[in-house]
Amino acid sequence: MARIIDGKAFAEGLRGRIAGHVARIARDHGITPGLAVVLVGEDPASQVYVRNKARQTVAAGMASFEHRLPADVPADRLMALIDRLNADPAVHGILVQLPLPRHLDATMVINAIDPAKDVDGFHTTNVGRLHTGQPAMVPCTPLGCLMLLRHHLGDLSGAEAVVVGRSNIVGRPMAALLLQDNATVTIAHSRSRDLAATCRRADILVAAVGRPGMIGAGHVRPGATVIDVGINRVDDGAGGTRLVGDVDFDAVAPIAGAITPVPGGVGPMTIACLLANTLTACCRRHGLPEPADLAA
Ligand code: NDP
């Protein structure tokens, strides 16, 4: 039976280390890292995410600034807010909650954020930096996956890694990070031929597809480490819903060497890494050494 990679416990430890650094920076330098979150509209899922982000930001000792705008906000008003946040010295990280209403161009909005404050790592400058091996702000979910992989496997050099999914939020940055850690990386997607055979080559299999239980026993090489990024809400058969991943956990766990559960695997790492990125942005802004133990 696979080892369970406990992302919830790891994220808790990471948040604790971040809180320690935040307290030290406040004591020694009188600086409080600040994260501004911009929410446009009333999307219920986004509201829950934003609430959780604010709660965990404050719990880590950071300053949390929340900006809520109506769904029909004109683009120029949103851009003016981003300009103000870019110029605000108390704000080290800016996150615009996605998805945005249709009338707003998400790429234009994200690219209006100062890349040094782009804690989601979605700005074209940060994407380019990541893919050219330069220091960048790295998207939170793949960063969390990388931390879990390093923690459980140590050196990833030479490992065969297969990432299923090529989104800008998860799949592509995940592949870039694995490549940076010297894995041999394959990216699979909806047009890939014989996905199962490709996946079976993997020592490290990352599923970021958005299809419940799509990765089954036939996709996994015995002993592989399986990271399930998927978060899918499905019928629980009792009139309610439950969360499942992209991996058929019950079928894969007896074969894999290690596996992240859903919930409690990758999910909790995302906000923890957002806090880590905010701390990193703050250290860079003020010329302070970046904490080396965040991924420990
Ligand atoms: P996207 O829908 O943006 O991308 C899905 C990717 O999966 C695409 O590249 C698509 O290929 C590929 N795909 C779809 N169907 C197949 C198939 N049958 N075979 C192979 N590849 C396929 O999703 P995201 O990357 O944003 O998210 C993926 C999952 O991760 C979702 O469940 C999401 O909820 C979850 N997620 C979890 C987070 C967390 O905090 N844990 C954060 C972000 C996402 P193609 O490009 O060819 O269309």
DSSP secondary structure letter of residue 98:
S
| Residues 238 and 152 placed together within one structural domain of the fold | yes
Q: Report CA-CA distances (Å) from 171 to 106, 109, 166.
A: 19, 22, 4
Residue 65 is predicted with a pLDDT of 98
User: What domain range includes position 185?
Assistant: 140-268
Please choose from 147, 231, 266 the residue to mutate so as to test ligand 1's pocket, defined by most ligand atoms within 8 A of CB: 231
Structurally, the chain folds into a number of domains equal to 2
Please choose from 95, 198, 209 the residue to mutate so as to test ligand 1's pocket, defined by most ligand atoms within 8 A of CB: 209
Residue 10 is predicted with a pLDDT of 97
72 is catalytic: no
Supply the CATH number for residue 234's domain. Answer: 3.40.50.720
Q: CB under 8 Å to 208, separation ≥6 — which residues?
A: 141, 163, 164, 165, 167, 170, 171, 174, 229, 230, 246
Helix intervals (H) in the chain: 7-29, 44-59, 75-87, 106-110, 124-131, 140-153, 171-180, 195-200, 249-252, 267-285
In a domain, 2, yes or no: no
Q: Tell me: pLDDT of 295 over 80.
A: no
Give the C-alpha separation, 286 to 144, whole Å: 25
If one counts every other C-beta atom within 10 angstroms of the C-beta of residue 124, the result is 12
53 is catalytic: yes
In the chain, % of residues over pLDDT 90: 98
Residue 257 is predicted with a pLDDT of 98
CA 20 to ligand 1 centroid distance, Å: 34
In the chain, % of residues over pLDDT 70: 99
Phi, psi of 273 (to 5 degrees): -75, -30
pLDDT digits (tens, 9 = 90+) for 20-42: 999 999 999 999 999 999 999 99
| Residues 163 and 106 placed together within one structural domain of the fold | no
Residue 296 is predicted with a pLDDT of 54
Give the C-alpha separation, 7 to 12, whole Å: 8
Residue 294 is predicted with a pLDDT of 83
| Residues 255 and 158 placed together within one structural domain of the fold | yes
Supply the CATH number for residue 52's domain. Answer: 3.40.50.10860
| Residues 146 and 260 placed together within one structural domain of the fold | yes
Give the H/E segment covering residue 63.
Answer: strand 63-69
The binding-site residues of ligand 1, defined as CB within 6 angstroms of any ligand atom, are 141, 164-167, 169-171, 188-192, 195, 208-211, 229-232, 266-267, 270
Residue 175 is predicted with a pLDDT of 98
| Residues 157 and 69 placed together within one structural domain of the fold | no
In a domain, 146, yes or no: yes
pLDDT digits (tens, 9 = 90+) for 208-250: 999 999 999 999 999 999 999 999 999 999 999 999 999 999 9
In a domain, 290, yes or no: no
| Residues 80 and 177 placed together within one structural domain of the fold | no
180 is catalytic: no
> Sign (positive/negative) of CA torsion 40, 50, 97, 67?
positive
**The whole model's pTM is what?**
0.97
